Amino acid sequence: MKSVFLWIGFLCSFQSFAQEVFPLWDTTVNMPELNKIPIIENVEFSVIKPFEFSKDGYRFLHGVALIWHKDKLYASFGHNKNGENTVSEEANYRVSEDGGKTWGPVKTIGRGDNVAVSHGEFLSYNGELWAFHGEYDGIMEKLRVRAFLLNEKTDVWEDKGIVARNNFWPLAAPEKMDNGNWIMSGFQVNETGSGNNPPAVAISDGDDFTKWDVVVIPMKTEKVWGESTVIIDGSIIINVARWGKQSIGLASKSNDFGQTWSILKPSNLPMTTSKPYTGQLSSGEYYLIGTTFNGVNKTRNTLTIAISRPGELFFSKVFVIRHSVFPEGVGESHPQAALAYPHAVEYQGKLYVGYSNSGGKVGRPIGKGRDTWNNNSAELAIIPIEMITSP
């Protein structure tokens, strides 16, 4: 009899857990194991910024952001000649005039004296190009967002000041909502050595990009490094965040354009412990780029894209963009290469995906601690939309 009660208790606990899981993956479709996931065909690859420590002295590179502006492709990234997220960080970028095949010189959006300006997000709107970058003191202390506006006559980024505070770091491009405001997802960095770093969003007042209100997503989950992205469907906003403790995506929902949120909870989407990136294709499907498959653990050795059916707010199929071992490609190939921190933008029937590649740490200089973190190259995958949306 005791075993019967234990079994009933287990079933009740399991059902309760199942009810609490946020549905990001179609429950009628089995999440495939990695060896069952198809590789996308006809993808073009290029290198945005190779790792060239011996030439330029830069160690850290992370946080690629992409935007098309006036038929040019811009790619920015956090860059540092010292350790990751230290005060010498700067926001650099390159521009391609041939669709990402080749890139112009490395230029600077922003840097500071005893102040770090790191990776951020672009916004092309009404003929202007904005950039919003994480800025901090020390090692990610007093995080805030600094805005820049490109003066296209002088090719100089004009400093527009601090536009958001509250320890917010933007991690996805601003998207306009149906109420006229823009939403930019990211996370709040409270304690770099702990799990008290919840996902958050910044919301504009209409088209005024000089002041953003930060809304922090409530959570009870432990060990969260909440780098996040959003899925938008009218007034409904779904935030998908990195966990840290487990290789499962965390999720929260807002029904009022991001003003209030449900408590963050685990989803049914296996996802490695790295920043995801989402968006909606012009054909109606939502996508999530990261590392997603059955049995993912904490690996970053494969870059995948999960796709929904048009208009559905959960994903039902997944494709491989590339594996870490990729000798036929132009980028770095190594069994231990980490492919992470994706970013994407759609343009003329193609999805442009930027990401970091650790190269398996081959050819990286000797160092200690933060000096050795994310010594990456930046790469680009160009995906024909029809290759991931066809039945």
Q: What is the CATH number of the domain that holds 113?
A: 2.120.10.10
Residue 289 in this model has a pLDDT that exceeds 80: yes
Confidence grade of residue 20 (pLDDT, cut at 50, 70, 90):
confident
> Tokens representing 252?
């929260």
Nearest to 318 by CA among 286, 340, 356, 342: 286
Residues 6+ apart with CB under 8 A from 35: none
Could you list the beta-strand ranges (E) of 5-82.
Answer: 44-49, 60-69, 72-80
Q: What is the pLDDT of residue 260?
A: 99
Q: CA 55, CA 180: separation in Å to the nearest integer?
A: 46
| Residues shown for the chain | 391
| 287 CB-contact burial (10 Å; exposed 0-12 / middle 13-18 / buried 19+) | buried
Q: What is the pLDDT of residue 142?
A: 96
| 366 CB-contact burial (10 Å; exposed 0-12 / middle 13-18 / buried 19+) | exposed
Range 174-190 average pLDDT: 98
Total number of domains in the chain: 1
Q: What is the pLDDT of residue 194?
A: 76
The pLDDT > 70 percentage for the chain reads 95
Is 314 inside a domain boundary? yes
Residue 320 CA, distance from chain mean position: 17
Q: State the average pLDDT for the chain.
A: 95
Residue 43 in this model has a pLDDT that exceeds 90: yes
The per-residue pLDDT for range 234-286, each reduced to its tens digit, is 999 999 999 989 999 999 999 999 999 999 999 999 999 999 999 999 999 99
229-258: b or e for each residue (b if 16 or more CB lie within 10 Å)? bbbbeeeebbbbbbbbeebbbbbbbbeebb
Is 346 inside a domain boundary? yes
Rama region for 164: left / alpha / beta (φ>0; ψ in -120 to 50; rest): beta
Residue 17 in this model has a pLDDT that exceeds 80: no
Range of the domain at 132: 23-389
Is 84 inside a domain boundary? yes
Is 17 inside a domain boundary? no
> Tokens representing 29?
């479709």
Q: What is the pLDDT of residue 1?
A: 43
| 360 CB-contact burial (10 Å; exposed 0-12 / middle 13-18 / buried 19+) | middle
Range 317-345 average pLDDT: 98
Q: What is the pLDDT of residue 5?
A: 40
Residue 3 in this model has a pLDDT that exceeds 50: no
Q: What is the pLDDT of residue 382?
A: 99
Is 4 inside a domain boundary? no
The pLDDT > 90 percentage for the chain reads 92
The reported pTM is 0.95
Residue 8 in this model has a pLDDT that exceeds 60: no
Q: CA 313, CA 54: separation in Å to the nearest integer?
A: 46
Determine how many CB atoms are found less than 10 A away from the CB of residue 30. 10
Contact 143, 168 (CB under 8 A): yes
The per-residue pLDDT for range 52-77, each reduced to its tens digit, is 999 999 999 999 999 999 999 999 99
Range 343-357 average pLDDT: 99
Which comes out higher in pLDDT, residue 19 or 213? 213
